Amino acid sequence: MSVASAPSKPVLSIGDRVFSRSALFAGSMILVTLAAVAVFLIARSLPAFVATDESASLLSSNFWAYVGPLVFGTVWAAALALAIALPLAIGIALFISHYAPRQLAQLLGYIVDLLAAVPSVVFGLWGIGVLAPAAQPIYAWLNDNLGWIPLFGGVVTGTGRTILTAALVLAVMILPIMTAICREIFLQAPMLHKEAALALGATRWEMIKLAVLPFGRPGIISAAMLGLGRALGETMAVAMVLSATGIVSFRLLTSENPSTIAANIALAFPEAYGENINVLIATGLILFVVTFLVNALARWIISRRAEFSAAN
């Protein structure tokens, strides 16, 4: 009775080996780069966290009082931008993928892709020159009629350069990439599921609600987290548009606005020296951690939904 020989490993060609090792090297470089950035931020941030002697600078000795409003402003502006952009991105993606005629859908797709390539400084100029002056009368109306709501209370700024204007600019900036991702996910929804829903008498919207949106939910979450990550780290547009005072305030229409970490670094770094540089790098470390946590949360949510779908 013959003994079955162990299966031999497939022989890889030179091209396969080169490609495999190149892909491994590229993937490893991502981890190396991420680790190098983390080590640099931690090493240069230590003086800001441990400076407690009398010779420490004002920013170093009051680091957490200094960085608290910046963290709040970063998260607040990004959350506002995401709340504005996400419903619009889903609606535009659904229109392009399931409602618009083919030629119009292609045109809108090109426009969305083009908007994603516009530099942030252009959005900043648009926010200062167009959006802020146009929004100021609307802010005044909201304050006069809805001022009893804390978000719209206070004294309205005369320039329109508020945290809400910055959030609107961020929403426009993150809208193209979120729309593009949602569009591609919706187009990949199983045709069999959509045809089955229509065959059972569902309307087009019911078909989307039953077959497209459940399939695309992980992609929507990924698009939202990617847009949130860009909003958290945006620098020039926020620095140009926002008239920041560095306080913690939920009011959207006043001139007393919290600043963001990225904008504060861009504005303060050219004039910083000594330990102030360490403080600014420490705020960058905090932004790095916040962005990392946001992406880790997105991956956890997507994996949990995948496990739940597989179990059912």
Residue 86: pLDDT band (50, 70, 90) is very high
3-state secondary structure of 132: helix
Q: How far apart are CA 83 and CA 50, in angstroms?
A: 37
Decide: 79 and 252 in contact? Cβ < 8 Å: no
Residues 123-141 as b/e (b if ≥16 CB within 10 A, e otherwise) read bbebbbeebbeebbeebee
Question: Which CATH number do you get for residue 217?
Answer: 1.10.3720.10
- Residue-wise pLDDT for 111-130, tens only, equals 888 888 888 889 989 999 89
Q: How far apart are CA 59 and CA 287, in angstroms?
A: 17
- Residue-wise pLDDT for 182-194, tens only, equals 998 998 888 888 8
Kindly state the DSSP code that residue 208 receives in the 8-state scheme. Answer: I
Query: What is Dmax (Cα atoms) for the chain?
Result: 94
Kindly state the DSSP code that residue 258 receives in the 8-state scheme. Answer: -
Which of 246, 222, 253, 68 shows the shortest CA–CA distance to 159? 253
- Residue-wise pLDDT for 253-294, tens only, equals 888 888 888 888 888 888 877 777 888 888 888 888 888 888
Domain around 229: 73-272
Question: Is residue 121, in this structure, part of any structural domain at all?
Answer: yes
Q: What is the average pLDDT value for the chain, to the nearest integer?
A: 83
The number of beta carbons lying within 10 Å of the beta carbon of residue 46 is 13
Question: Is residue 284, in this structure, part of any structural domain at all?
Answer: no
Percent of the chain exceeding pLDDT 70 equals 90
Predicted confidence at residue 87, as pLDDT, reads 94
Question: Is residue 2, in this structure, part of any structural domain at all?
Answer: no
- Residue-wise pLDDT for 162-219, tens only, equals 899 999 999 999 999 999 999 989 988 888 888 888 888 888 888 888 888 888 888 8
Question: Is residue 9, in this structure, part of any structural domain at all?
Answer: no
Residue type, 236: M
In this model, does residue 156 exceed pLDDT 60? yes
Domains in the chain: how many in total?
1
Question: Is residue 7, in this structure, part of any structural domain at all?
Answer: no
3-state secondary structure of 64: helix
Question: Is residue 144, in this structure, part of any structural domain at all?
Answer: yes
Q: Which residue has the higher pLDDT, 92 or 68?
A: 92
Question: Is residue 84, in this structure, part of any structural domain at all?
Answer: yes
- Which residue in this structure is represented by tokens 């077959």? 211
Question: Is residue 23, in this structure, part of any structural domain at all?
Answer: no
